[in-house]
């Protein structure tokens, strides 16, 4: 798939460019990003170059991970990154969402704004019927973003993630097309009904 560009009230969500390497390198020095996300630690320039120049383009080219950088419409400053990825086969129509915000740009609603735009794109252009958000239990900042973007918290998945060589519990939440007033590709039966069991 060819990379896309999205525009929100305050952000330009666009494909990564070589000029983004320095900003990504600076952002990923943040202890919070290294605490919660599966990025290398210590985070070196070679890691930023690989992410910007290889990993992001490969995800689009292979039609499996659709990451964009978030830049401020007025200043052009890189404020973070967000993306949608595959979690199952195409017929499942389930995608995941992930994001990070650079220090100095947090608490301003940028991540939520970007996730909302990506969610609408995933439902209308990718044919997704469910978006999932996962984060380590304790990552309150990420959970706050998911909630503000309309995700419904569903619970805790035990031993779901591996971080720094240790299995971690994860929070999970979902967003459905109907949460945004959109129709799903496949009809959704919210409650399954089963025939009554008989004794005997």
Q: For residue 156, list its beta bridge partners.
A: 171
Select from 139, 128, 141 the least CA-distant residue to 175.
Answer: 128
Q: What is the pLDDT of residues 105-129, one digit of tens each?
A: 999 999 999 999 999 999 999 999 9
Q: What is the pLDDT of residues 129-154, one digit of tens each?
A: 999 999 999 999 999 999 999 999 99
Are 87 and 94 within 8 A, CB to CB? yes
Specify the pTM.
0.89
Q: For residue 121, list its beta bridge partners.
A: none
Distance CA 56, CA 51 (A): 6
Select from 4, 200, 194, 186 the least CA-distant residue to 88.
Answer: 186
Q: What is the pLDDT of residues 17-46, one digit of tens each?
A: 999 999 999 999 999 999 999 999 999 999
């Amino acid at each position: 798939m060819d990379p896309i560009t999205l525009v929100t009230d305050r952000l330009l969500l666009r494909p990564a460019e070589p000029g983004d390497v320095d900003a990504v390198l600076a952002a990923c020095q943040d202890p919070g990003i290294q605490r919660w996300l599966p990025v290398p630690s210590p985070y070196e320039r070679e890691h930023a170059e690989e992410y910007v120049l290889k990993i992001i383009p490969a995800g689009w080219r292979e039609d499996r991970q659709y990451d964009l950088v978030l830049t401020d419409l007025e200043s052009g400053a890189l404020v973070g990154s967000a993306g949608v990825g595959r979690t199952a086969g195409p017929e499942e129509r389930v995608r995941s969402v992930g994001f990070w915000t650079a220090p100095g740009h947090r608490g301003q609603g940028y991540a939520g704004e970007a996730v909302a735009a990506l969610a609408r794109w995933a439902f209308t252009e990718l044919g997704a019927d469910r978006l999932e958000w996962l984060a380590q239990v304790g990552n309150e900042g990420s959970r706050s973003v998911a909630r503000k973007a309309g995700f419904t918290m569903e619970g805790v998945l035990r031993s779901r993630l591996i971080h720094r060589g240790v299995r971690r519990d994860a929070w999970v939440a979902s967003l459905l097309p109907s949460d945004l007033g959109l129709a799903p590709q496949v009809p959704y039966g919210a409650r399954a009904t089963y025939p009554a069991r008989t004794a005997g």
